[in-house]
Structure 1
Amino acid sequence: MAKTVVVYFSGYGHTQRVAAAVAEGAKASLLAIDEQGNLPEAAWEELAAADGIIFGAPTYMGSAPWQFKKFADASSKAWFVRAWQDKVFGGFSVSASLNGDKQVTLIGLQTLASQHGGIWVSLGLMPANKQASTRQDVNNLGGSVGLLVQAPSDAGADAIPEGDIETARQYGARVASIAARLKA
C-alpha cells in the first residue's frame, strides 16, 4: 500500500476541513504548516517516506499565502538531493470566490511538484456544467488541474458546499490510487 501525505496551510479553518476530506479519501496522514510557515522535523521525514504528496493552500490575493511559500522554499533541501523525485503529487486550493484566481495557486503547486521531479495528478472528474447542476454536485467549479473549493468568507468551514467536500474525497482517493499503482 502506498503512503500518501497531505501537507497544507489553513488560515481560517476552511483549508483544514478540505485537507481532512482529501486525507479521508486518500487514507492519508495530515501535516499542518503552522502560522510561522514551519513543519516539525518529523514531518519532513514523513514527506521523504511518502509515495504521494498532496499540497493544500488557500488562495490569498491570487496565490498561496506566505506560510505555504515558506514551506515551499524550505523544500529546497529535498529538491537539492532529489528526495521527492518520481513521487506522485496533487494539490488543492480554497478561496471565498467561485473563481478567486485559484487556478494560479494550483499552477504554483504543480510547478513546485514539477521542480521536485514529481508526477502531477489531475482532478480527473467531469465538471458539473449542466443547467440543472448545483453547488452540491461533484466538481461543480469545473476544475481539471487539481481540486478547486469555494468557502464563503462570512461563514465557517461547515458552510463549504458538500459538492466540494465530496470532490475533495474523490480527488484524495484518485491521487492515492495512482501512487499505489506506480509503487506496484
Structure 2
Amino acid sequence: AIVFTAIMLIVTLPILTGGLLMLVLDLHLNTQFYDASFNGDPVLYQHLFWFFGHPEVYIIVLPAFGVISQALSTSAGKSVFGGPAMILAMGCITVLGALVWAHHMMTVGLETDTRAFFSAITMMIAIPTGTKIFNWLSTFMGNPFSTISLDIWYALSFIFLFTLGGTTGVVLGNTAVDVALHDTYYVIAHFHFVLSLGA
C-alpha cells in the first residue's frame, strides 16, 4: 500500500507544485497563466489542482487499506484472501485514481465525449474497490473468530462505511447526477464516508 501511495505522490505533487507556482507568478509577477482577460485559462488551474486533489483521496486511504488487510490477516491467523488480486486492485486504483480528476469539473463546460470518458473511468474504479471489499469479507468469513477484538470491529466498521461511501461515488459517476448534485451535501457525505475511518 505504501509503494502505491508513494507512486501517486511522485506523480501528482509536481503537477500541484507547478500549478501553484504559476498562481504565485500570476499574483506577484503579473504573468497571465490564469487571467482570462489576457487569454489565460482559469480552468487550467482547476485541472492542475484536481489532478492532484482527487488522487490525494487515494493517497490518504491506500495506507488504511494496508492496515485493514493486516488487521484482518493477523486476527484470522492467515494471509488475506486473494493476496495477488488485492495487490492488482491497489495498482488499478492507483492508475484509475490518477485518471479521474475531471469528474470534479463536470460543470465547467467539458465536451460531452470528455464527460463520458471521465464518467466511465469513475465507475470503473468500483471494480478493484469491490474486489478489495470482497476479499476482506472473505478473509473475515473464511475463519470464524472466537472473539471479535476491537481492531476487527474497527476494520468491519471501515469496510461498511467505505462501501457506503463507494456506493454513493458510483451514483456520482453518472454525469447528469453529478451535475445535479454538484456543491451539495451529498458530495460531502460521499467524501466523508469514504475517508471517515480510513484517515
Instruction: Specify the TM-score bucket, using the shorter chain as the normaliser.
Output: 0.3 to 0.5
Select the structure with the greater relative contact order (CA < 8 A; seq sep ≥ 6).
1
Greater helix share, structure number: 2
Q: Normalising by the residue count of structure 2, what TM-score does the alignment of the two structures yield?
A: 0.31
Q: Normalising by the residue count of structure 1, what TM-score does the alignment of the two structures yield?
A: 0.33
Greater strand share, structure number: 1
